[in-house]
A = this chain, B = another copy of it.
Amino acid sequence: MSSPEISTPSALESLRDFLADQKLALNARLPAERQLCSELGLSRGKLRKALALLEAEGQIWRHVGRGTFIGPRPVINLNDVEYLSEQSRPTEVMEARMAIEPQLAKLAAVHGTASNFAEMRRCQKRCHSAREWRVYEAWDNNFHQAIATATCNKLLISLFDTLNIVRRSTVWGQLRSTQLPPADHGSFAEHEAIYEAIVGRNPDLAADHMRSHLKSVRDRTFSAMEN
């Protein structure tokens, strides 16, 4: 039986020869499968087996609708926020917040500067003076952003930004309970506690307050969803 053991390897060989001939640069796109078939005189099945081997070796990578390319598969776009938002359920987003934001508060208490603290204070005041839910929410968001900024860690800030975008674009399955100005919103006291702990350079306390703040946010959100 000379056919399978030899014919498939020969397909691989002719494909390798073709690639060597063309001297294709990194990331270059090679002809579509159907075209390569006729050029190399191979059936599509054989060609695809050869291509699969090359792909397994990391020599090429393929994608439906795009083509076959030279080189290692590029890193997937991790920050494809839309995709992430579709993939993330509200409980997951909340879980991620509770995992990360307390740590940010902790580090903010360590590395935060006076101007960081001033920005946090400014956001708090705007929260108080907000008369519409939307405005309140904007400054609440800025408050949490200010805490992330206070970590003085660009990587963590970037991770928080991604988390934040996903959170804001997540469909929470509810309308805000109207245009309610959040007059006696419980978050005021919680924000204050977080702020005090951070400014007081008390990392663990800051993390604790952030954790309980997020817990109450979670409870309010999900209980509102069930109503």
Binding site for B on A (CB under 8 A): 20, 23, 25-27, 58-59, 70-72, 74-75, 77-81, 84, 87-88, 92-93, 95-96, 99-100, 103-104, 106-107, 134-135, 137-138, 141, 153-156, 158-159, 161-166, 168-169, 175, 179
In angstroms, Cα B95 to Cα A106, docked, is 12
Known: A23-B179, A78-B161. A99 touches B107 (CB 8 A): yes
Once the chains are docked, how many angstroms separate the CA of A59 from the CA of B133? 12
In the complex, what's the smallest C-beta–C-beta distance from A121 to chain B, in angstroms?
A: 18
Would A163 and B159 be within 8 Å (CB), given that A59-B134, A72-B138, A175-B25 are in contact? yes
A35 CB to closest chain B CB (Å) equals 22
- Which of B27, B138, B175 contacts A58, CB < 8 Å? B138
A27 to B172, CA, bound (A): 13
Chain B residue numbers with a CB within 8 Å of A179 are 20, 23
**In the complex, A94 Cα to B173 Cα: how many Å?**
37
The interface residues of chain B lying within 8 Å CB-to-CB of A80 are 77, 79
Q: Could you tell me if A87 and B154 are in contact, using CB atoms closer than 8 angstroms?
A: yes
Residues of chain B with a CB closer than 8 A to A161's CB: 75, 78
In whole angstroms, how far apart are the Cα atoms of A162 and B163 in the complex? 12
Listed from nearest, the 3 A-B pairs whose CB atoms lie closest are: A99-B103, A79-B79, A88-B155
Q: List 7 A-B contacts (CB under 8 A).
A: A70-B134, A87-B154, A93-B155, A95-B156, A99-B156, A155-B163, A159-B163
Contact B79 A153 (CB under 8 A): no
Question: Are the CB atoms of A162 and B79 closer together than 8 Å?
Answer: yes
A104 to chain B, nearest CB (A): 7
Q: A97: nearest residue on chain B (CB-CB)?
A: B155
Instruction: Report the separation of the CA atoms of residues A154 and B80 in the bound assembly, to the nearest whole angstrom.
Output: 12
Contact indicator B71/A158 (Cβ below 8 Å): no
Nearest chain B CB to A177's CB is how many angstroms away?
13
Most buried by B among A87, A107, A141, A162: A162
Instruction: Give the contacting residue for A103; candidates B58, B92, B93, B100; CB below 8 A.
Output: B100
Contacts known (A103-B100, A162-B78, A162-B158); A71 close to B134, Cβ less than 8 A? yes
